[in-house]
Each structure stands twice: as structure tokens, then as C-alpha cells.
Amino acid sequence: MAAPLVGVTPMFAVCFLGFGIGKKLQQKHPDEALTAVQLFNAGMLSGVFTTAIMTPGERIKCLLQVQAAGTGPKLYNGPVDVVKVLYKEGGIRSIYKGTCATLLRDVPASGMYFMTYEWLKRSLAPEGKVNELSPLRIIVAGGLAGMFNWLVAIGPDVLKSRLQTAPEGKYPKGIRSVFVDIMRNEGPSALFKGAAPVMIRAFPANAACFLGYEVAMKFLNYIAPNL
């Protein structure tokens, strides 16, 4: 749990920063309402931004989870030890193994994430008052956005996790080899293993995320309205 806890704050900070930059790049003026496609594009940019933080964090987390669930020898004594061992074995490249797979998961999933949230905000808000959603409506919009995010992400996430936890050399062509192996030995349904617990987690986790974001933005706008 330590790896995601350490990475979650900067990851979400960079995630929302990337989304904000993506919106500004497409707006002709600050108050321009973006289309669903433009919101999706801005969300995809946020997925690119988070990869630098997400990839090593996911690699560490997955290796420790597999170790905890297995019966083999204990290879790592915690997140820091994982980094030391990986760096000794293959340098920074080993720590960032699965970068392309992480991009494959996070870029389209983040696009869906933010597009869904912004669309739900507009749908649930009183007429002409998009920024005045009640906490309950923010929770609903954020929770559903999280679930739509994982509808897109679950398959690529399985591929990524398999790749990041596999012994060196098992998948010589990277994520393509993982996909071929799963299709040959387990079938398409294997890409959706764990979907139920992921969806159960997605709603409260992302409801809390967006509620915290909206509260933080209101607070920052109150104490520093000109920044």
C-alpha cells in the first residue's frame, strides 16, 4: 500500500494539471465551453502527464502484491527495496518497464474519465450554474466517471500488470506478447478478471477524488481569487 500512497498525491495533482492545460490549449477564451471530443482530448493529455509517476508506482505495487499472494521466496522487503533491486538488475529501464502499456491504459481511460465527469456536471447542474453543484451531485458525477474510466482501462490494466510482474524475457515483444499469450491460453474473458471489485472500488474512490478537487478549488479561489 505504501507505493500508491506515496504516489497518489503528485499523480492526481499532475493529472488535473494536464487536464487543465489540455482545456486551455483548445479554448479561444477562458470561459469557452468545450465539446465532448475536446474534453476527451484534454483528458487524454492528462493521461500522458501522469505516466512518469504512474509507471514506476504501478510496477512496484504489482510486484509486491504478487509476492504477497504467492508461495515463492521473498524477493523484496518493501517499496524502496523493490526500486533498489530493479535498478541493480536493469537500471532505470527496469523501473519503468510497462511504460507503453501504462500509456495504452491511461490515455484513453483518462479521456473518458474527464469527459464523463464534465458531461455529468453539465447534466446535473441547475440551468446556467455548472459550478454550483451540490456535494451529492459531485459525488454522483465523480463516482460514475470513475466507473466509466475503468470500463476503458480494465483490459489494458490486465495486460500492463501481467507485463510488469513477468520474469525478464517471458514476453519478448512486450504488451503484444502478453496479449497473444492471454488470447491463446485464457481467452478474451481474462482481460476482464477483477472487473467487479474494480467497479465497486471505482465509485467511492473517484467520488471522493472529485469532491476533494471541487472543495479545494473553491477554497483556493476564495483565498487567492486572482491567481
Q: Give the percent of the chain with pLDDT over 70.
A: 96
Question: Would you state the pLDDT for residue 119?
Answer: 94
How does the average pLDDT of the chain come out, rounded?
Answer: 91
Task: Report the number of distinct structural domains present in the chain.
Answer: 1
Question: Would you state the pLDDT for residue 146?
Answer: 97
Of 5 and 26, more confident: 26
**Segment 139-183, tens digit of pLDDT:** 999 999 999 999 999 999 999 999 999 888 899 999 999 999 999
DSSP readout, the chain? -HHHHHHHHHHHHHHHHHHHHHHHHH-SSTTPPPPHHHHHHHHHHHHHHHHHHHHHHHHHHHHHHHHHHS-S----SSHHHHHHHHHHHHHHHHHTTTHHHHHHHHHHHHHHHHHHHHHHHHHHSPTT-TT---HHHHHHHHHHHHHHHHHHHHHHHHHHHHHHHSPTTSSTTTHHHHHHHHHHHT-GGGGGTTHHHHHHHHHHHHHHHHHHHHHHHHHHHHH-TT-
Question: Would you state the pLDDT for residue 167?
Answer: 86
Domain holding 22, by residue range, is 2-223
Average pLDDT over residues 101-130: 91
| Pick from 22, 225, 211: nearest CA to 133 | 211
Question: Would you state the pLDDT for residue 4?
Answer: 64
**Segment 181-215, tens digit of pLDDT:** 999 999 999 999 889 999 999 999 999 999 999 99
Question: Would you state the pLDDT for residue 3?
Answer: 62
Question: Would you state the pLDDT for residue 73?
Answer: 76
Looking at residue 130, which CATH number applies to its domain? 1.50.40.10
Distances (CA, A) of 95 to 44, 52, 159, 162: 23, 11, 17, 15
Instruction: State the pTM of this model.
Output: 0.88
**Segment 34-83, tens digit of pLDDT:** 999 999 999 999 999 999 888 998 899 899 988 888 766 788 988 899 99
